[in-house]
Structure 1
């Protein structure tokens, strides 16, 4: 299965690059954010075709009961606040009739290794501004609940894959609780370790099957 691993930063996959090379798995570092992700993927996929796209990275969680370093697969991802304000109300782009804000995982016809199916599902939102205000965090929890991860690229990744109808999955490990910004509570090294342990195992089994 010809596979492309997509990450925002090289830091997120650096520990896995030797394994990706050994297993003939292509990888793409897009840069941070939705614009960089969409541009880099569009440019790369205009000249390359794949059976599966895998987006990996770290994320923040809105659920204080989630363990840092835990791994999740994203079922649906939403571009947060993509639309228009009407006084105190928000109108999603979907309701305005100018596009979509929610994009989804597309599984390939062939079964994937158990390393994927063993991961619990969760939904995601993709943001241009990582949340660090108690008011905005409370608003998101009231609207979507606690079962939500936050990234800056996930929906853009799904968007490109959905438009091109390429099977795609997104897997993220939790590096921090979304709260008033306090980097002392983050554990990026643990999140990266768990992410790369999973990625190396997954691509090794995938490319040997």
Structure 2
């Protein structure tokens, strides 16, 4: 059976999973990222701490995908929820698509996407992908249904990946409207991008650590967000991982 890759930007976003399955360090790659290998039931899991941001995520996943061909990738971590998304701190969000929120051009008329430049980031099967990368519908739907069956709030929608996190309500509202999105993070679009290049299914699950508003760290709860997301991934693998 092909393995499953689980990726997160930081160690705290992956540590509970590593401990829960008793995963041990795996010889690293030239990227220097942390890699762990373990088993859950009959499934082999590769867990990688990619580092923060798009470049680190793309580099780490590419290096790992050159070594193994997984059944699918799970990208796990925390995110900031946009106002009006229906999400609150401690809830879970599942991506239907990932959008590069920064790539484009700022014109006198406002921001425009890569499509206005006319150069796609990826061309696959006659389709051109500019800023938005879809994630596997079946995996996302399974996650939403699992949440419903367990009484856990799981909201599915578009995620935005940014290089500069939104620290004001106005910026968050602008991105939410522009992309019809529910939350933002700093890695997801890169993971979805690389998964598409390698033809691998991808699921993204994030715990909500904060609302995107005028920055107030006292209202954040990163420990709750990362624990909730990792515990849900364990449940998902038990129900849908083919263990």
TM-score (norm 1): 0.89
Q: Is the 8 A contact 1:52 1:108 kept in 2?
A: no
1:168 CA drift (Å) = 0.8
1:196 CA drift (Å) = 1.9
Partner of 2:6: 5
Partner of 1:35: 55
SS at 1:25's partner residue?
strand
SS at 2:213's partner residue?
coil
1:138 CA drift (Å) = 3.6
Partner of 1:15: 16
1:80 CA drift (Å) = 0.5
Q: Is the 8 A contact 1:106 1:166 kept in 2?
A: no
Partner of 1:125: 160
1:136 aligns with 2:171: yes
The 5 Å alignment of 1:35-184 reads: 35-63=55-83, 65-99=86-120, 100-107=130-137, 115=146, 119-145=154-180, 147-184=181-218
State the Cα deviation string for residues 91-110 of structure 1 (Å, max 9, x = none): 2112211111111112569x
Which blocks of at least 5 consecutive residues in structure 1 are unaligned?
Answer: none
1:60 CA drift (Å) = 0.2
1:157 CA drift (Å) = 0.5
Q: Partners in 2 of 1:155 and 1:148 — Cα distance?
A: 14
Aligned residue pairs total: 207
**Structure-2 change in CA distance of 1:84 and 1:206 (3 Å):** same
Q: Partners in 1 of 2:169 and 2:83 — Cα distance?
A: 14
SS at 2:51's partner residue?
coil
Q: Partners in 1 of 2:167 and 2:13 — Cα distance?
A: 22
State the Cα deviation string for residues 148-196 of structure 1 (Å, max 9, x = none): 1100001000000011110111111100001111110001121122112
Which blocks of at least 5 consecutive residues in structure 2 are unaligned?
Answer: 22-37, 121-129
SS at 1:162's partner residue?
helix
Q: Partners in 2 of 1:202 and 1:69 — Cα distance?
A: 17
**Structure-2 change in CA distance of 1:108 and 1:163 (3 Å):** farther
**Structure-2 change in CA distance of 1:195 and 1:62 (3 Å):** same
- Structure showing the higher strand proportion among its residues: 2
SS at 1:75's partner residue?
strand
Q: Is the 8 A contact 1:107 1:167 kept in 2?
A: no
Q: Is the 8 A contact 1:115 1:198 kept in 2?
A: no
SS at 2:235's partner residue?
helix
TM-score (norm 2): 0.77
1:142 CA drift (Å) = 3.8
SS at 2:196's partner residue?
helix
Q: Is the 8 A contact 2:13 2:77 kept in 1?
A: yes
